[in-house]
Structure 1
Amino acid sequence: MKNILLIGGSYGMGLAIAKELHQGNRVFVASRTNENLGDLNVTHLPFDALTDTLDTSQLPEVIDGLVYCPGSINLRPFRGLKIDAFESDMQINFISLVKVIQTVLPNLTASNQSSVVVFSSVAASMGMPFHTSIAAAKGAVESFAKALAAEYAPKIRVNVIAPSLTDTPLADKFLNSDAKKEKSAERHPLKKVGTSEDMAQMASFLLSDKSSWISGQIFHVDGGMSTLLVNG
């Protein structure tokens, strides 16, 4: 049985990961609300990644797995973006991530081999219009994760999941109709929109001993978008 800490776990990908892991593990969900967690065997810790410092007294001394789920989807033309938009995206996606990892680092190093899973975006590796702010923030996440993996190997494994647009509450305005979902699906070689469950299954694998020889990697769970060019 592993001790798993999810930062953000009441909605979307975080909730799907909590559902995937709550049986057979001790799962701690640090999030602003405990909405949707009622039927799950998890411990909820009130926490806002933007404003709070995580109270480690409520956590076990050993943390075997950490998943940081908070993020943003800020798609606007560069000419209309003010500097505070870049700062906001960097804060929630990167700075708050760093703060959480620094806070629980003693708990992670207390494990025989802990696993950290963070989320990037297909936009960090592909040049996509209207993605300058979020691509910059997620690019920071990917570079940080690889450097951290190198520094703490073999004690801590660090890996990145880089999705394309995924059907979650965060992406609702982009996928809130069948027509929008169909259009998004057509942009991907696998002709479907990703789901929270797709990300949860990858996260579960990266937290498990089945991935014990994997670290410093970026997994593009994106329907083939980042690597495949398919006609039709």
Structure 2
Amino acid sequence: MKKIVVIGGSKGIGNAIVKSLVENNQVVNISRSVPLLSHTNLTHFSCDILNDELPDIDQIDSLIYCPGSINLKPISRLSLDDFRTDYEINVISAVKAIQHFLPALKKGTNPSILLFSTVAAKLGMPFHASVAAAKSGVEGLAKSLGAELAPTIRVNAIAPTVTDTDLASKLLRNERMIESITERHPLKKFLAPQEVADMATFLISDKARSISGQIFELDCGIVSFKI
């Protein structure tokens, strides 16, 4: 049974990941709110990743960092503080978690780190300047650390398209917007959180032991195809 730390596992994609892993692994969730899930394999620490000290854990097999932001505004309305906040949430706090848990990961069995980017880091999209800049930093971090920590610790990232979570609720707030987003994707769909959780579960598993430094576009075709 692996010990997996999920940061941000109380909601959205993070919560779907916790649910996928908790039956067969020891899962430690670190988030501000308590997940609506109770299980003997689940331990929760209430923590604001931006401001609080992280708990000490002796040994970890995988670290999954889920917090993110969707701050969509024209560049004329994005303040420098918007950019700073998005970078703090997506990059600096991920670095904080990795540095804190690195000694515990080095004690793990086939250890791995999983981060999250977005399709907007590769596909130019209006109003995404702040989040795309921050998530591009996440992708650079994943590749650089994948090289630095090899062969001991694998590091990968998933770059999802629009996913049906509270974070994306403004993008999916009515039937017209849902239809528009569906039609924009060549596969004529967007993501459910469980689809992202399935990819995450694979990437931290022993089946992915030859994969590191990769960014996986879970994109329903929107980055890969022009149809």
TM class, shorter-chain normalised? Answer: over 0.9
Structure 1 residue 39 displacement after superposition: 5.3
**Correspondence list, 1:149-188, <5 A:** 149-188=146-185
SS of residue matched to 2:160: coil
How far, CA to CA, are the matches of 2:116 and 2:200 in structure 1?
A: 10
- Segments of structure 1 that go 5 or more residues without pairing to the other structure are none
TM-score between both structures, scaled by the size of structure 2? 0.97
* More off after superposition, 137-146 vs 177-186: 177-186
Show CA shifts across 1:104-130 (max 9, x none): 000011113211110000011111111
Cα distance in structure 1, aligned partners of 2:105 and 2:220: 32
> Where does 1:103-142 land on structure 2 (aligned, <5 Å)?
103-142=100-139
Matching residue within 202, 205, 212 for 2:202:
205
One-letter identity of the residue aligned with 1:209: D
Please name the residue that 1:99 is paired with. 96
Unaligned runs of 5+ in 2: none
Once residues 127 and 15 of structure 1 are traced to their aligned partners in structure 2, the CA distance between those partners, rounded to angstroms, is 29
TM-score, reference length from structure 1 = 0.95
Q: Residues of 2 paired with 1:209 and 1:178: CA distance?
A: 41
Once the two structures are TM-superposed, the CA of residue 20 in structure 1 deviates from its matched residue by 0.4
**3-state secondary structure, aligned to 1:89:** helix
Equivalent pairs counted in the alignment come to 227
> Contact 2:110–2:206 (CA<8 Å) still a contact in 1?
no
Of 57, 62, 81, 2:59 maps to 62
Give distance in 1, aligned partners of 2:140 and 2:115: 12
Is 2:218 aligned against 1:221? yes
In the TM superposition, residue 177 of structure 1 has moved relative to its aligned partner by 2.1
In the alignment, the residues of structure 2 paired with residue 180 and residue 82 of structure 1 have an alpha-carbon distance, to the nearest angstrom, of 27
What's the CA shift string for 1:138-187, capped at 9, x where partnerless? 00000011000000001100001001111101011111223221111111
